Structure 1
Amino acid sequence: MIISLQVKFAAMDIPDDFLKMMEEKTGCKIVKGFSDDADIVVFAGKPEPGKKTVFMQSISAGVNHLDFRNIDKKIVICSNADAWSIPVAEHAMALILAKYKNICESNTAIRNGTYNRKLSESIYGQTIGIMGYGGIGREVAIRAKAFGMHTIGFGRTEKKDPALDVFSMESEYVAKNSDVILISLPLNKHTRGMIDYKFLSSVKGNIIVNVGRSEIVNMDDMIKFLEENKNKWFLTDVWWGEPEIKGEIPENVIITPHVAGLARNFMQVPVEKAFENVVAYIHGNPGNIVNRNDYI
């Protein structure tokens, strides 16, 4: 069998010795780039299946960028859900702490010559509502509990987890009972634009964090909401139309350039997990099989 490795991100440089090890583990020949003879495609970015391709494994967790209508239905597609959860969860907590502890504001003030010891707030005893209780949501809940926060989880199917105080399938309940809202939902036809003005208007707390995809949030509704509520903050690792950022970013936004998962000393872990699932496919039991109906 032949594996076509299609990685289109410069930040993800996969060394040859690692690929040799993966060849031994999978029993397949690995070819960098497109191969029309590839039985399996392992990819980051937009992949090109070959004529013989029967299985495609994403290195990234999300697969919303794939053109499912133009990928043969016979091809099994798997995401890499949970593989990036730890650094993304760390980034989410960093954003929350940066706001609660006035990190960005204090840094800017001191650099501009103002030494103002403004009181911060503690996240201890605060409630975080996690919209999307998958791998990222679970890792955030674990870290939030370590800081003494209360946790509420939200998803389409009920989950019981020691890191959760409450699980709800009602988004309004989460909005009305959380000091911090975390968005870690996957982007699909069910979640696109889910965080709209109605949801935002029911949010009890002052902080909304997005480490999912920008399109989960309705852009016009969020901008309007932030302009009307200067005390509410949007902390986000993603932005609409990125990497080209158009229009003014409201002052009550803290933004990073879609780097939550890009930890230098962690990059090999998701690649290893992707190849582990290739081995699982070869043995007839792959995980994270994508339901095309969620995207078409």
Structure 2
Amino acid sequence: MTGTTGSFHVEKEGDDQLILVTLPDLPADYQASLLDRYGDIYFLVDFLNGHIPLEKIEILITYGFDLDECTLNKLPSLKWVQVFQTGVEHIQLNELENRDILLTNVRGIYGNSISEYVMSFILYFMRDMERFIENQRLQIYNRSILPDEVYGKTIVILGAGAIGREIAKKAKLFQMKVIGVNTTGSPVEGFDEMYTFDDRNQVMGKGDFVVALFPVTDKTYHCITKEQFQLMKKSAYFINVGRADLIVEEDLIQALQQEMIKGAVLDVFNEEPLPKSSPLWEVDTLYLTPHISGKTKLFYQRCIDIFDENYRAFKAGDQLAFNFNYQKGY
């Protein structure tokens, strides 16, 4: 490794394809793990300015934010892009499709981490932890105001996929009522009720907690606005661990400032990193985290395991897992 813009190159005998990794935050121990497993591999933060044979790179591991026409022009041999996240809406997909480049993402690795994240905030709010933390700071010993319980509360989960099912499972352990929304309204194990997307307004007022998990499509874009916040209980909390474009951020700010709802949690934002000038920072009842709900200390190993399986399939000419379908858009 030669600093943050350098590369670590290891050559092994054989016909291994050259791999370029452009993950700027990949820990050193995981870099070592990749080096142990594969042939020619380079690590580079700003790979466009690196001293590596870009024209020979066949496999790229990335988050996808560095993929544009200019980058792809410098990688003429690129055959496969492995994105270490689920969302690919930020990638210029038409450029990859036109060059017949395989695109794979990672799926099925976020259920445990995101469900823990959601439940941690639910417990934080119900057990009034903020007040106790503040009282400790002020050296106040006060037992007169009692906290609430999660028991018997209702959670509405907008999106009943793998992550939604895992949240439902954990919510059930706390004896919550679980209401879900999916495309068809078809029943899903672990949910007490299920509604269609078009009927989502019917459930917004039922939840003590409303959790957004929908993928962004033409139909779900800005599907949660002032109208939906007005339907929620004034005592309810909104949690977005899906996509930023599911909501209108200005409407959420207004809903909180006007006390339409009690509080909200955002882990995704229209602009990331969230700039210091964003008004979101100034809302007292809004809790912000830096797109970290699905990213724990186990994240990289789970991604590498998926890449490892796909790498063997790629070498064998077999179908890759989680291969993006350009025609279907997912």
TM-score interval for Structure 1 and Structure 2 normalised by the shorter chain: 0.7 to 0.9
Q: Aligned residue for 2:50?
A: none
Q: Aligned residue for 2:81?
A: 56
Structure 1 residue 70, shift from structure 2 partner: 3.1
Q: Aligned residue for 2:319?
A: 285
Residue 221 in structure 1 maps to residue 251 in structure 2: yes
Residue-by-residue CA offset, 1:260-289 (whole Å, 9 max, x unaligned): 223224431222123323434555333333
Aligned length: 292
Matched-pair identity in %: 23
Residue 69 (structure 1) aligned to one of 89, 94, 106: 94
Q: Aligned residue for 1:179?
A: 208
* C-alpha distance in structure 1 between counterparts of 2:168 and 2:82, whole Å: 28
Q: Report the residue type matching 1:150 in the other structure.
A: K
Residue-by-residue CA offset, 1:205-236 (whole Å, 9 max, x unaligned): 61111112323210111111111116521022
C-alpha change, 1:279 and 1:200, in structure 2 (3 Å) is farther
Q: Partner of 1:71: helix, strand, or coil?
A: helix
* C-alpha distance in structure 1 between counterparts of 2:184 and 2:78, whole Å: 32
Residue 139 in structure 1 maps to residue 138 in structure 2: no
Q: Aligned residue for 1:100?
A: 126
Structure 1 residue 21, shift from structure 2 partner: 5.2
* C-alpha distance in structure 1 between counterparts of 2:183 and 2:28, whole Å: 36
After TM superposition, the structure 1 stretch with the greater mean CA deviation from structure 2, 127-136 or 150-159, is 150-159
* C-alpha distance in structure 2 between counterparts of 1:166 and 1:144, whole Å: 14
* C-alpha distance in structure 1 between counterparts of 2:253 and 2:327, whole Å: 31
Q: Report the residue type matching 1:137 in the other structure.
A: G
- Superposed CA RMSD: 2.8
* C-alpha distance in structure 2 between counterparts of 1:173 and 1:36, whole Å: 55
Q: Report the residue type matching 2:76 in the other structure.
A: K
* Contact 1:124–1:148 (CA under 8 A) maintained in structure 2: yes
Structure 1 residue 159, shift from structure 2 partner: 5.5
Residue 78 in structure 1 maps to residue 89 in structure 2: no
Structure 1 residue 148, shift from structure 2 partner: 0.9
Q: Partner of 1:39: helix, strand, or coil?
A: strand
Q: Aligned residue for 2:300?
A: 267
* C-alpha distance in structure 2 between counterparts of 1:175 and 1:116, whole Å: 35
Residue 43 (structure 2) aligned to one of 32, 35, 38: 32
C-alpha change, 1:94 and 1:7, in structure 2 (3 Å) is farther
Q: Report the residue type matching 2:322 in the other structure.
A: N
Structure 1 residue 81, shift from structure 2 partner: 1.9
Q: Report the residue type matching 2:210 in the other structure.
A: I
Residue 151 (structure 1) aligned to one of 175, 178, 182: 178
C-alpha change, 1:267 and 1:198, in structure 2 (3 Å) is same
* Contact 2:160–2:182 (CA under 8 A) maintained in structure 1: yes
Residue-by-residue CA offset, 1:162-189 (whole Å, 9 max, x unaligned): 2222222232233133221111223344
Q: Report the residue type matching 1:289 in the other structure.
A: N
C-alpha change, 1:265 and 1:68, in structure 2 (3 Å) is closer
* Contact 1:6–1:44 (CA under 8 A) maintained in structure 2: no
Q: Report the residue type matching 1:287 in the other structure.
A: A
* C-alpha distance in structure 1 between counterparts of 2:232 and 2:18, whole Å: 47
Q: Aligned residue for 1:128?
A: 155
Q: Aligned residue for 2:25?
A: 10
Q: TM-score, normalised by structure 1?
A: 0.85
Q: Report the residue type matching 2:134 in the other structure.
A: T
Residue 43 in structure 1 maps to residue 72 in structure 2: no
Q: Bigger relative contact order, structure 1 or 2, given CA contacts below 8 A and separation 6+? A: 1
C-alpha change, 1:69 and 1:262, in structure 2 (3 Å) is same
* C-alpha distance in structure 2 between counterparts of 1:187 and 1:13, whole Å: 33
* C-alpha distance in structure 2 between counterparts of 1:82 and 1:187, whole Å: 18
* Contact 1:89–1:136 (CA under 8 A) maintained in structure 2: yes
Q: Report the residue type matching 2:126 in the other structure.
A: Y
Q: Aligned residue for 2:11?
A: none
Q: Partner of 2:57: helix, strand, or coil?
A: coil
Q: Report the residue type matching 2:173 in the other structure.
A: A
Q: List runs of 5+ in structure 1 lacking aligned partners.
A: none
* Contact 2:20–2:57 (CA under 8 A) maintained in structure 1: no
* C-alpha distance in structure 2 between counterparts of 1:84 and 1:134, whole Å: 11
* C-alpha distance in structure 2 between counterparts of 1:280 and 1:195, whole Å: 40
Q: Partner of 2:239: helix, strand, or coil?
A: strand
* C-alpha distance in structure 2 between counterparts of 1:199 and 1:125, whole Å: 23
* C-alpha distance in structure 2 between counterparts of 1:137 and 1:120, whole Å: 27
Structure 1 residue 5, shift from structure 2 partner: 3.5
* C-alpha distance in structure 2 between counterparts of 1:275 and 1:268, whole Å: 10
* C-alpha distance in structure 2 between counterparts of 1:102 and 1:230, whole Å: 20
Q: List runs of 5+ in structure 2 lacking aligned partners.
A: 1-15, 48-53
